[in-house]
Amino acid sequence: MDVRTAVDLIQFLERNDLEIYVDGGSAVDALLGEQTRPHDDLDVALPHRHVPRLRSLLAARGFRERLRDDTWECNFVLADEHNCRLDVPFLHS
């Protein structure tokens, strides 16, 4: 996922009052102030109570769940038709 797409998604979620935390390689890059390597997805964490809203907002933008071997209630991936992917673990709160 390129930086522009990641920023667009983060801003979209924030505009819709979702409390999210960028995680993984994108978080490292943000701290360093530069992209250090290509990223296949955007890792974001959020409180469990926000998962239904996240799913609804992203479904309206064409995102659907992509099942993986490690998919479960607390860890899932949402992707659109362009393979723009959000890897989503949620925080317990």
Residues 3-61 have pLDDT tens digits of 888 889 999 999 999 988 998 888 888 888 888 888 889 999 988 889 999 999 999 99
Exposed, middle or buried by CB within 10 Å (0-12, 13-18, 19+), for 42? Answer: buried
pLDDT value at 93 more than 60: no
The two tokens of residue 33 are 């102030």
What is the pTM (predicted TM-score) of this model?
0.82
Domains of the chain: 3-91 (3.30.460.40)
